[in-house]
Amino acid sequence: MKRERILAGLLLAALAVLAVRAIVGWPAHNGDAVPVALDVTEPFYPVYFSSRDTGLLEPEFHQGSATIEQVLADLLAGPKLEHLAGVIPADTVVLGYRLSGETLYVSFSHHLVTNHPGGSTGEILTVYAIVNSLTGIDGVERVQILVENQVVDTLAGHLNLQRALRKDYSALGSQVL
């Protein structure tokens, strides 16, 4: 009898917890993204960063209309979401940019190369975070990355940066970590 009473008590307590959770919501587990408030009825644009979950690029949506200055500033500032990581090496600054036809030329300081950790994965993430973010702007189809106002062979010894690059969707998505 006593045992049944205890069991009934435990069951009631569990139901009470479930009821409260259903109203209040479950707590986020560690590593959950902190959502950034986004009003989808207003203009917004993507800025790409490296995802700690997938090891590939993932967009972070920012409210407003995308301008070249704003997207470059967002890339340099790094992500707001906790599960994303910045892709631009430390101390890098933008020295200038020029839109010629549909090709955007962006010149970075040498830190983009000298402070880059290397690796084809690292290089692809940095280059296509820049290219994918900037080609989200109307009128920008290709991005030519310059370093100290010069065309460079490569950033870290893999990608050919002698030419302008188009958006690459293959650097997004499926989990590879």
Partner 1 sequence: MKRAGLIAFLLISFLLICPNFSQAALKLYVEDEEVQLKHDLVMINGNYMIPLWVFAEHLDAEIQVDDTRFQIIFADQTIEMQLGAETALVDGREYILEVGPQLVQGEIVVPLRFMADQRHLSLAFVQELNGFRLARKSPRFSGLGSLLVAEAPSSSPLAQEEGEAGPQGPEEPEEPEVPKEETSIVVYEPSEERGLREIVFLGGPRTSVFLDLESYSGYQTYLLEQPARLVVDLYGVKGDPPPMLEVDSPVLSSIRASRFDDQTLRVVCDLKAPTGYQVLPAPGGGIAIDFNYQLYSLALEDQDGSLLLSIEMSAAPEVQATYLESPLRLVLDFQDTTLLTRSFDTPVNLGPIVRWRVGQHSPAVTRVVLELAEPLASLPVEERAAGSFVLPFFPGTAAEAAAYLRAQQHAQEEPEELGAELLPTGEGVLSGLVIAVDPGHGGSDPGTIGYQGTFEKDVNLAISLYLGELLSEAGAKVIYTRDTDVYVSIFQRPEIAMEAGADLFVSVHANSHIERGRARGTETLYRAGDPASELFARIVQEELVKAITLIDRRIWGREDLAVFNGSNIPAVLVEVGFLDHPDEEVLLRASGFQKVAAQGIFNGIVRFCLENKR
Point out which residues bind partner 1 (CB under 8 A). Answer: 50, 52, 55, 85-87, 117-122, 124-126, 153-154, 156-160, 162, 165, 168, 170, 174, 176-177
Smallest gap from Cβ 161 to partner 1, in A, equals 8
Least Å from the CB of residue 176 to partner 1: 5
Choice between 41 and 175, CB closer to partner 1? 175
Q: Which 3 state secondary structure label does DSSP give 27?
A: coil
Which residues are CB-contacts of 75 (< 8 A; sequence separation ≥ 6)? 47, 87, 88, 129, 130, 133
Q: How far is the CB of 145 from partner 1 (least distance, A)?
A: 12
Pull the structure tokens for residue 17. 């917890």
Q: Do the Cβ atoms of 169 and 107 come closer than 8 Å?
A: no
Q: Cβ 153 to partner 1, closest distance in Å?
A: 6
Residue 44 or 172: the one with the smaller Cβ distance to partner 1 is: 172
Q: Give the integer Cα–Cα distance in Å for 53 and 112.
A: 24
**Residue 105 half-sphere exposure toward CB, CA atoms < 13 A:** 15
For partner 1, the closer CB: 125 or 140:
125
